[in-house]
Amino acid sequence: MIELTCPAEEGISAAVDRKKNRYDVLLRKIPSVWKPSLLTIEVGARGFVGHSMKSCLTKLGISIRLKDKLCKTLSLVSAKCSYAIYLARSTTNWNQKDTLVL
């Protein structure tokens, strides 16, 4: 299982702990013939891509070149989304037709 979290950069380690605790019960309920594992991946709200993302992509067999490209894209999208949310901080209604990320 892969679980993405986008916390503030200073909250990444706490987010990892929360995710591991949340999914621990589920992992134990899955029959052992499946050999389940949890990969928590973190992309910070300001664009920091955690080592966990690179590790996950490696485990999935993604090439180094594509892995670097994906991490740069994730970083940019995360930062742009956070900025869009910041710009909309005083808006009471979210217009779904507005472009979030350019």
The 3-state secondary structure of the chain reads CEEEECCCHHHHHHHHHHHHHHHHHHHHHCCHHHCCCCEEEEECCCCCECHHHHHHHHHCCCCHHHHHHHHHHHHHHHHHHHHHHHHCCCCCCCCCCCCCCC
Distance of CA 77 to the CA centre of its chain: 11
Least confident segment among 12-16, 38-42, 69-73, 98-102: 98-102
* Measured torsion, CA atoms of residues 101, 7, 43, 51, in degrees rounded to the nearest 10: 170
| pLDDT average, residue stretch 87-98 | 79
pLDDT digits (tens, 9 = 90+) for 30-78: 887 888 889 999 999 999 998 999 999 999 999 999 999 999 999 999 9
Q: What is the pTM of this model?
A: 0.77
Please tell me the predicted confidence (pLDDT) of residue 95.
Answer: 73
Q: How many CB atoms lie within 10 A of CB 43?
A: 24
Is the pLDDT assigned to residue 94 strictly greater than 80? no
Please tell me the predicted confidence (pLDDT) of residue 78.
Answer: 92
Confidence label for 92 from pLDDT (cuts 50, 70 and 90): confident
